Amino acid sequence: MLQPLQQFICDKCKKVIERPEFGYVEYLSQIEKRDGRMMQIRSGFKIVHNSKEKSCHFFERSIELCTLPLRDFFVNDSKFSLIFSFLDEGEILTPTGIAVEIKDVREYTDFVKRILIPYYEEARIYFDEAKIDGFFDGDNEYFVYSSSKMKEIVEKYTG
């Protein structure tokens, strides 16, 4: 069993990242002009290895590639600031500047669940099997992703 919110599965090699200090978040950021306004389109949120022993890259190096240390999401109170900054940099920094858009909201919320909900990282491996087994039958959109439900999945499907 993974240590919740401390160990992660690398999106590239599928091996365990032992601690947030050994991981990076990669994503893509493209600038587009829409209706006379500049837009920063963000997509492809992935967690990968980044340590002396192992370094993985999900995306090819390009001008669009952005990276952040995974540990930054677990330092003091910066987690929520980082999560919200991907959605909107806020009126203090960009009152009329470049607008931010998440290209695939479901992909982004999956990434956020991975770093916020205990047991989600490991439970997501078993979602297809759990759906087939009817494990989620009767659950609403709130409870289905609760940490207690995620822990139940891990316990049931890891034996």
pLDDT tens string 117-139: 999 999 999 999 999 999 999 99
Give every strand in the sheet of 99-102, ordered side by side: 65-69, 23-34, 37-49, 99-102
Global confidence as pTM: 0.91
The amino acid sitting at 91 is E
pLDDT at 93: 67
Asked if residue 1 lies in contact with residue 154, where contact means CB atoms within 8 angstroms, the answer is yes
pLDDT < 50 regions, the chain: none
pLDDT at 95: 59
Strand partners, 101: 41
Residue with tokens 């919200």: 84
Degrees, nearest 5: CA angle 62-113-147: 155
